[in-house]
Structure 1
Amino acid sequence: MTVIKLPTATTEPPRQPRRSPRLARHELELPSGIRATVSVAGRGVPLVVVHGFMAEGFLYAQTLNRLVAMGFKVIAIDAGGHGGTSELPEHGYDFEAYVDQLEEVCQVLGIRRAVFAGHSMGGRLALRLAARNPDNAIAVIPISAITGRTWDDFMVVCRENPARVPFLGALLLADSMTILPLVKNLTQARKLLKLALPLGVRHLRGPWKMFAPMLAILRDGSTDPDLDLMREHDVPVIAVHGDKDLIVPLATARDTAERAGGQLVVVHKGLHSWLLTDPETLPAIFAELLRGPLWNSYERALRAEGIDPATATANEIETAFYAPNARIRMLTPDGPTYDLAPEDLTRPRYSWSRLAFEPGSSEATKRRVLEPQPVAEIARRYGRNAASEAS
C-alpha cells in the first residue's frame, strides 16, 4: 500500500455568504411507526449527515449551515433514541436496526444518491448505510469515526472485558467537557451552548436511553466488508480525523482509508470533537476536497445521469439525485444557491494534511507521510499569528 502526501491548502476555507438558508427541524412519521427528526436546509447536492453518540444533528448546526452555503442540501438525521427520534421499539441493541431507521428516512424523503458523512458513531452508521447501496453513494466521509480494524479489534477486547467500557465513557465525558473551553470565539461559544443545553437536559432526565446504542456499538461486527464494498464500487472514502483524539485513535482513520483505498485528512491538534470547537474547519476541508476527489465523484454521478457538471442547475441536480416528487424537496423550498468551490476565504482554526493510499507501501512510508505540515507553510499563508497558533 503506497501512501502519497497530497498538496493541501491547510487552512484555506470556503466563502461565507452574508445570508444563507438555516437548518430547520422536521418530524417524520415513518411507515415502521418510528418518529424521526431531521434537520434540513439548502439546495443542491444531497449531504446526509449522522451525528455522534449522545448527540443530535442540530448540535452541528454552525458547521452544517456553512456547508449549506457551499451548495449542499444538508439532511442531518437523528438516529434512534437520539434528538427528537423515538427509541427503536424492538431491536435497539442491534446496530443494523439503527441503519434500518436511517435508510427508511432516506427512502421516505426520496433521496436517491448522496454524499454520506458522520461523526464518531455517525461515521460508522453512514458507512454502513452507504454499503447497503454502494451505487447510490457519491462519497463517504467518516469524521473521527469508529470505523476500521483498530476500533473493531478494541470492541472485541471490550466484549471480553466489559470493565473497559466505563473507561471509554469517562474519556468521552472528558472530551465533551473540553468543547466549550476550546471555542475561542465567544459568539460561537454562546451559540454552541444554546444548542447543547437542551441535549444535556434530556440526558440528565433519561441517561438509561443511551444504553441501547452503546450496546449496539459493542456488539456490532467488523467494518472491513463495508470498506471493501466501497473500494469495489469505486466510492471515495475520505476519513477526517484529529491527531490528538484520545477516544478514537488516529489509527482507526488510517485503517479506514487504507482498506477502502481512499484518503485520510489529519486535523492537526484536533481532539475527538474538534468540529464542534471550530465550525470553520470542516467546511474548509470540504472546499479543498471539492477541488479533488469529492468533485471528481460528484462529476461522475452527474454524468451518469446525462447532466453536464459545468452547466448543471440546482433543479437539474435535484432531479438527478432525488426521486420524482421527493418529500425532501418540499422541506427545502426554493432559495439562494451557491457554488460548490467558492473562492472567498475565512481562516479556520485548525490546519490539516491529506494522504492518499495506493497499493505497495511500507510501514516506514506511512509514518513518514503522517508528519504534520511544517508551521512555516502556515506562516507563509497567514503570517505570525497563524504560526503561533499552530505551534
Structure 2
Amino acid sequence: MTFAEKYIDLPRARLAYYETGRADGETLVLAHSLFLNKDMFKPLMGALADDFRLVAYDSRGHGASSTATDDRYDMEAYYDEAAQFVERLDVGPVHFAGNSMGGWVALRMAARRPDLIRSAIAMGSTGDDEDDVHAFDPVLEQLRARGGEGFEDGFSFIFFGDASLTSESFAPLRNYWLNHLTSLSTFYALPGAAVAHRSAVNPELRHCNVPVLAIAGAQDHVFPPSLSENIARAARHGKAVVIPEAGHSVSIEAPEQVAAAIRAFVSDYCA
C-alpha cells in the first residue's frame, strides 16, 4: 500500500495527511498520539483498507505538518484543529478515531461537534482529568534538557506493553518508533506540558448521542483499561474493548484486533 502525502492549509497551521482505502467507503479520520505522527496508523490502515476511506493526519508541530502560528499546543488547540480539518475535507460526517492524544481529540469531537462525526473511537486514552499530572514531570524534564536522547527505557515503558517489548516479530516496529522518540527535539516539551494539563471530557459525554468506542491495551502502563471503561460508562452510547497483550500504542501493537473491533462497532452502533 502506498501513502501519498497531501496538505490542507488551516488558519493556524498547514497539516499533512494521507488518504487511502475505499474511495466509495465511509470516511474514517485517524489522529495520532502525542510525539508520534500519522505513520503510526499504516498497519491499521492496511487492515481497514477494504472497509473505509481512510484519512490520517499530522497534528500541528508533528510529522510533516507545520508548527502553529499561534504557538498553541494545548488540547483545545488540537481539538479546534481537528474540527477545522474535518470541515475542510467536506465529506459529510466521518468516523473519528485517535490513539492517546488523538483519542482525547475524538472524545471532544463527539461531545461538541456531533454534526461532523458519526462515531468516536478512543484508543489507549482517557476522558478523565490526569490524576497524577506530576507523573509526566520526568518526561518533560528530559525533553526540556535533551529532547528524547537517552530516554529509550522511559519511552519503551510508556508506549508499549510487556508482550510488545519482548516480541521478536514486533522488534522492527518497536525499534523504528523508539528511534523516532529518542530523536525528538526539545520543542516537544511544549506540547507535552500543554497536553498533560488538559481538562476532563467525560462529563461532556453524558449529553452526547454520538456512539463512542474505547479500546484499551490490557498491558497499557499509562492508561489502564479501567479508564476506557470510564469512557464507555460516561457516554450515552458507549462500549469498551480490551485488547490482550497490547499496551498504550494499541493501534500499532495489535492493528488486526483493533480493526476488527472498529468494524464490529460501526456495524452494531452506526447502521
TM-score, with normalisation over the residues of structure 1?
Answer: 0.59
Cα-to-partner distance string for 1:104-138 (whole Å, 9 max, x where unaligned): 22222213201111001110012112333113321
Q: Structure 2: how far apart are the matches of 1:177 and 1:287?
A: 24
Q: State whether structure 2 residue 218 is matched by structure 1 residue 235.
A: no
Corresponding residue to 2:136 among 144, 165, 168: 165
Q: State whether structure 2 residue 13 is matched by structure 1 residue 38.
A: no
Whether the aligned pair in 1 keeps the contact of 2:109 and 2:120 (CA below 8 Å) is no
The residue number in structure 1 matching 2:37 is 56
Q: State whether structure 2 residue 68 is matched by structure 1 residue 68.
A: no
The residue number in structure 1 matching 2:144 is none
Q: State whether structure 2 residue 251 is matched by structure 1 residue 263.
A: no
Q: State whether structure 2 residue 190 is matched by structure 1 residue 212.
A: yes
Aligned-partner SS, 1:135: coil
TM superposition shift of 1:36: 0.8
Whether the aligned pair in 2 keeps the contact of 1:140 and 1:238 (CA below 8 Å) is yes
Q: Residues 266 and 199 from structure 1, CA distance in 2 versus in 1: closer, same or farther, beyond 3 angstroms?
A: same
Cα-to-partner distance string for 1:285-341 (whole Å, 9 max, x where unaligned): 223334422xxx1x3xxxxxxxxxxxxxxxxxxxxxxxxxxxxxxxxxxxxxxxxxx
TM superposition shift of 1:94: 2.9
Q: Residues 128 and 172 from structure 1, CA distance in 2 versus in 1: closer, same or farther, beyond 3 angstroms?
A: farther
The share of aligned pairs that are identical, in percent, is: 26
**Amino acid in structure 2 at the alignment position of 1:282:** V
Corresponding residue to 1:289 among 249, 265, 268: 265
Cα-to-partner distance string for 1:42-101 (whole Å, 9 max, x where unaligned): 2211101101111111222011122122x2011111111111111222242432111122
Q: Structure 2: how far apart are the matches of 1:266 and 1:180?
A: 16
Larger Cα-atom Rg: 1
**Amino acid in structure 2 at the alignment position of 1:129:** M
TM superposition shift of 1:209: 2.0
Whether the aligned pair in 2 keeps the contact of 1:140 and 1:236 (CA below 8 Å) is yes
Q: Residues 91 and 225 from structure 1, CA distance in 2 versus in 1: closer, same or farther, beyond 3 angstroms?
A: farther
Q: State whether structure 2 residue 220 is matched by structure 1 residue 249.
A: no
Aligned-partner SS, 2:55: strand
**Amino acid in structure 2 at the alignment position of 1:250:** P
The residue number in structure 2 matching 1:314 is none
The residue number in structure 2 matching 1:117 is 97
Q: Residues 114 and 196 from structure 1, CA distance in 2 versus in 1: closer, same or farther, beyond 3 angstroms?
A: same
Q: Residues 260 and 290 from structure 1, CA distance in 2 versus in 1: closer, same or farther, beyond 3 angstroms?
A: closer
Cα-to-partner distance string for 1:249-297 (whole Å, 9 max, x where unaligned): 222111110010311101123221233123322112223334422xxx1
Q: State whether structure 2 residue 243 is matched by structure 1 residue 272.
A: no
Root-mean-square deviation over aligned CA pairs: 2.7
TM superposition shift of 1:184: 4.9
Q: Map 1:89-100; keep pairs closer than 5 Å.
A: 89-100=69-80
Q: Residues 132 and 213 from structure 1, CA distance in 2 versus in 1: closer, same or farther, beyond 3 angstroms?
A: same
Q: Residues 51 and 183 from structure 1, CA distance in 2 versus in 1: closer, same or farther, beyond 3 angstroms?
A: farther
**Amino acid in structure 2 at the alignment position of 1:120:** S
Q: Structure 2: how far apart are the matches of 1:131 and 1:193?
A: 33
Q: Structure 2: how far apart are the matches of 1:288 and 1:129?
A: 21
Aligned-partner SS, 2:115: helix
**Structure 1, unpaired ranges of 5+:** 1-20, 300-391
- If asked which structure has higher relative contact order (CA below 8 Å, sep 6+), I would say 1
Q: Residues 112 and 212 from structure 1, CA distance in 2 versus in 1: closer, same or farther, beyond 3 angstroms?
A: farther
**Amino acid in structure 1 at the alignment position of 2:206:** D
The residue number in structure 2 matching 1:381 is none
Q: Residues 199 and 227 from structure 1, CA distance in 2 versus in 1: closer, same or farther, beyond 3 angstroms?
A: same
- The number of residue pairs the alignment matches comes to 255
Aligned-partner SS, 1:253: helix
The residue number in structure 2 matching 1:174 is 157
Cα-to-partner distance string for 1:209-263 (whole Å, 9 max, x where unaligned): 2122212222321212431242xxx211111101221111222111110010311
**Structure 2, unpaired ranges of 5+:** 141-152
Cα-to-partner distance string for 1:177-202 (whole Å, 9 max, x where unaligned): 768645554xx754x369648844xx
TM superposition shift of 1:208: 1.8
TM-score, with normalisation over the residues of structure 2?
Answer: 0.82
Whether the aligned pair in 2 keeps the contact of 1:117 and 1:141 (CA below 8 Å) is yes
TM superposition shift of 1:144: 0.8
Q: Structure 2: how far apart are the matches of 1:253 and 1:193?
A: 24
Q: Structure 2: how far apart are the matches of 1:108 and 1:184?
A: 42
